[in-house]
Amino acid sequence: MLLTNYEPEIIRPPCDYSRETVNAIGHITGDISPVFPYLNAVIPGAEYQPAGKVLRFKWEGHVVTLRPDEMAAGGFNDADEAVDFLARLQKLINDTWERRHTIQPSEVQRKRLVATDVYRLLPRTNCKACGQPTCFTFAAKLTMGEVTLEACPVLTEPQFAAQRAKLEEMIANAVFL
Ligand code: SF4
């Protein structure tokens, strides 16, 4: 087991009573950074900085930041929810570490999608078949992971095959947080 012990700390943003969510940090005994390339390989849209030993990703609707001696996440309704999440995160880390021999580690440093880059590759008909008012709105939502390429039926037409392939490649190497 890689992550054996951690001390949970629950943080409420100070002097901001309009925010009702709490954040959580697990202060870790030891160094969990050896698991980062394996998590980076299996979690879609993760953002990995090998030099700084920081891994960020979205999991169960929360943005997680892992450092060698710390796991942090935010947006919880209360302390119990935050503590439960840290326990599940510990399990994710340890389960991934246990099966590391079956995973090809990755040091890929993904980049965030830029809406204008996505837009240029869309059919740009503004046909609304995806449920969005314009192709640019679709592009913007795609960069945030709120829609998928499958929602655009026009992209399945043969004349857009090359553009779709390029978009799929961009998405496979993109950060979604
Ligand atoms: S279905 Fe495709 S082409 Fe039509 S508006 Fe949506 S993104 Fe644009």
Q: What is the DSSP string of 42-74?
A: HSTT-EEETTTTEEEEEETTEEEEEETTEEEEE
What is the position in ligand 1's atom list of the atom closest to the CA of 151? Answer: 1
Contact 88, 26 (CB under 8 A): no
What's 111-175's CATH class? mainly alpha
CATH architecture of 6-102: 2-Layer Sandwich (3.30)
The region that residue 13 occupies, defined by phi over 0 for left and psi between -120 and 50 for alpha, beta otherwise, is: beta
Q: Which residue has the tokens 């592009």?
A: 139
The domains of the chain are located at: 6-102, 111-175
pLDDT digits (tens, 9 = 90+) for 47-74: 999 999 999 999 999 999 999 999 999 9
Q: With a cut of 70, say whether residue 17 has pLDDT above it.
A: no
Q: How far apart are the first and last CA of the chain?
A: 28
Choosing from 130, 160, 164 the residue with most ligand 1 atoms within 8 A of its CB, the one to mutate for a pocket test is 130
pLDDT digits (tens, 9 = 90+) for 72-81: 999 999 999 9
